[in-house]
Structure 1
């Protein structure tokens, strides 16, 4: 009988402790108090110098687009490098929804450090492309949103990122 009373008291105390912890526990620490984040970076195409050669462009339905470029803060030649942009895109219709069609931005600034994954399965080679952000790591963990790629001139792309946490908080 005494053991049954002790058992009931222990269960009651444990239940009260769980309820009190749920009601009065502190909010988790968040590095970024706002759920939205807007960033802007630039990609400068490498300048090829040397004798001009005649090149033949591959057919539009052939091959894959593989690139590795640096991300910079501004459009100027002297802008600080803040990361890199890498991608592997298969522009063939049958691979339009392939998991390979991803652009990875790796960013290292004083405020942010991590990577962002951008789904690139709907490229139409326009001067302005709006693509989906499907995740990230580090400061960008679980981010979702939009990445707007705009061609400023023949050698510079601007990337505007409109990000939010996946759960909206």
Structure 2
């Protein structure tokens, strides 16, 4: 069974999503509802961060559902946290040539976007979402962007978010 991200089923009906996370993420404060579906077997927790908006547009900009896979103690994220390698030393235990485009992207994300993300785009309910995520039992971060974090993931995420 596939689950669509919030509002995606309405935007892309031709895909044929069977269920939508909108059905689970209905708490007024932007967090998850009481529990994930029983079909997930109790192995996943989720939190919807939906409350970041650009300064003046008033339209949703940052929407992400963050998951925690309980058995492996792994936080699964898309844009909440990124870890682009900037040099060969950033890629754990492997020889790697990091392309110039990746190094430039990392610089832009870390030096320009992250300060905006952690200050101007933060709303009062972000703290609730972050507290929920940090209260889960996890050590590792599996990001969509960049290298995973195998140790001390909560400290790394706190630093990244400026907490």
Instruction: Indicate whether the TM-score tops 0.5.
Output: no
**Larger Rg: 1 or 2?**
1
Give me the TM-score of the superposition, normalised by structure 1.
Answer: 0.27
Which structure shows the bigger proportion of residues in strand conformation?
1
TM-score, structure 2 normalization: 0.28
